[in-house]
Structure 1
Amino acid sequence: MAPVRPGRLPNRRDFLRVQAGRRCAMPGFVLQAAPAPADQPPPLVRVGFTVSKKVGNAVVRNRVRRRLREIARQIIPEQARPDLDYVLVGRQGALERDFAVMRQELVEALKRLKALAVATP
């Protein structure tokens, strides 16, 4: 079965709230995490994506964003804590990084932020 697509962070206020939380830098991205607001439905994991103009022109930024969206779709719903909101910030090296390596880096970043979901037996 395909992983469930995570929810999106809808507005700037949510991005700023998550930016003030914890972060973990990896070569291809920065993962930011912060507690989700109390009025959010609990099972929905929300993720936001951003890539600055320093990374490249619009074509490059969109390619980086697509790569980040795909690794988040594969990893976040299954392995991330649902009580946190996440933002993936694309970095310059995201296009050159191997996709499998970026997936492992996302899992490692979740571990470092203590944001891995508790496995239920």
Structure 2
Amino acid sequence: MMRKRADFLSANQGIRVARPGFVLLVRSRDDAAPAIRFGITVTKRIGNAVVRNRMKRRFRELLRSALPVAGIAGADHVLIGREGGVERDFAALRDELMAALQRAAAGKGDPPRRPRSGQHRRSARA
């Protein structure tokens, strides 16, 4: 499991696949280790701590079951929670995650996001 901010920032440079309940980021690592790593991010916009923790528990279970089957070896996978994700049916989330992993494995990510107007981009600190 990923814990360092730098790992999350580097994953943001990879393939991005958006789904109704989450956004999946996948980036291959440069090291030779074939391990599959994952991280989960849920912002305070989603809800209070109870809601965020529930969403993270659901995402952890999804990733633990899906990554050994459809994950990309030697890559970092990050799930970013979206507002509707906590209410979505678990089976629907699982299907969406499998479809997103297949798109990422094929290299078919969504187009890059445009910055929202009125917000300044933070620079990544090394």
Is the counterpart of residue 13 in structure 1 residue 6 in structure 2?
yes
Give the match's secondary structure for 2:8. Answer: helix
Quote the Cα distance in structure 2 between the aligned partners of 1:115 and 1:103: 19
Give TM-score, length-normalised by structure 1: 0.83
Displacement after TM superposition at 1:105 (Å): 0.3
Displacement after TM superposition at 1:115 (Å): 5.7
Aligned-residue identity in percent: 47
Quote the Cα distance in structure 2 between the aligned partners of 1:75 and 1:50: 18
Match of 2:37 in 1: 46
Displacement after TM superposition at 1:66 (Å): 0.6
Unaligned segments of structure 1, at least 5 residues: 1-7, 117-121
Quote the Cα distance in structure 2 between the aligned partners of 1:28 and 1:94: 4
What one-letter code is carried by the residue in structure 2 that aligns with 1:45? I
For the pair shown, the structure with the greater C-alpha radius of gyration is: 2
Quote the Cα distance in structure 1 between the aligned partners of 2:64 and 2:45: 25
Quote the Cα distance in structure 1 between the aligned partners of 2:3 and 2:54: 21
Quote the Cα distance in structure 1 between the aligned partners of 2:102 and 2:61: 19
Quote the Cα distance in structure 1 between the aligned partners of 2:38 and 2:55: 15
Quote the Cα distance in structure 2 between the aligned partners of 1:65 and 1:36: 24
Q: Which of 107, 113, 116 in structure 1 is aligned with 2:104?
A: 113
Count of residues in correspondence between the two structures: 107
Q: Which of 74, 84, 93 in structure 2 is aligned with 1:93?
A: 84
Quote the Cα distance in structure 2 between the aligned partners of 1:115 and 1:76: 15
Unaligned segments of structure 2, at least 5 residues: 108-126
